[in-house]
Amino acid sequence: MAKRVLFGILTGVFLATTQTVSGQNLSKPRADVPRVQLIQSVSIQVTLFSAEKELLVPYCSEGEGGTESLCNLSIHIEIETQGRWRPIKLRHSDAVMGGIPPDKWKYRVIPAENRHDFFFAFSKDDFAVERGQRLRVVVTAWPDEQSMRTGKQPIQLTSPPFGCP
């Protein structure tokens, strides 16, 4: 997962290739790349605004520069199909989503009438989403820590739609 988000959405790729040359001196240190894959991920900067009351938003890690990464279990991505919004589906039927359990979450308090930037990324290889499809994020926040730990009184924050890169 990417560690830092600039503004907007970006696609990350890892590309490299090397082949062993016959007759190469095998007694010297070297690096081999036996397999190469293109890894695509969608990275999203999510700015959350509180209103009249503070919000608690769980995060599970920090990237370079201190941007907090939202927990998988507190955010979901929705896709628009036939004029309706639904959660994006896993691309493979045998895949299982995981995440850090709520009792291990860290949280950021967003004071009343303030905002805070977070980061979230997902792999296009794992989810059934294609370039140009309309997406939106739904982040779950809570009014206090006890509500967050028990899952009671969730507050759903839904973004405006955006195109998948």
What would the pLDDT profile of 59-115 be if each residue is shown by its tens digit? 999 977 889 999 988 999 999 999 999 999 988 877 777 788 888 899 999 999 898
The total number of structural domains in the chain stands at 1
Contact assessment for residue 116 and residue 26, using Cβ atoms and an 8 Å cutoff: no
Report if residue 30 sits inside a domain: yes
Report if residue 1 sits inside a domain: no
What would the pLDDT profile of 1-56 be if each residue is shown by its tens digit? 333 333 233 333 222 323 334 455 555 444 555 554 445 788 888 999 998 899 99
Report if residue 2 sits inside a domain: no
Range of 137's domain?
Answer: 9-163
Indicate the pTM of the whole model.
Answer: 0.72
Neighbours of 130 (CB within 10 A): 9
Report if residue 25 sits inside a domain: yes
Report if residue 3 sits inside a domain: no
Report if residue 64 sits inside a domain: yes
Report if residue 31 sits inside a domain: yes
What pLDDT sits at residue 98?
Answer: 76
Query: Smallest Cα–Cα separation from 75: which of 164, 156, 162?
Result: 156
Report if residue 28 sits inside a domain: yes
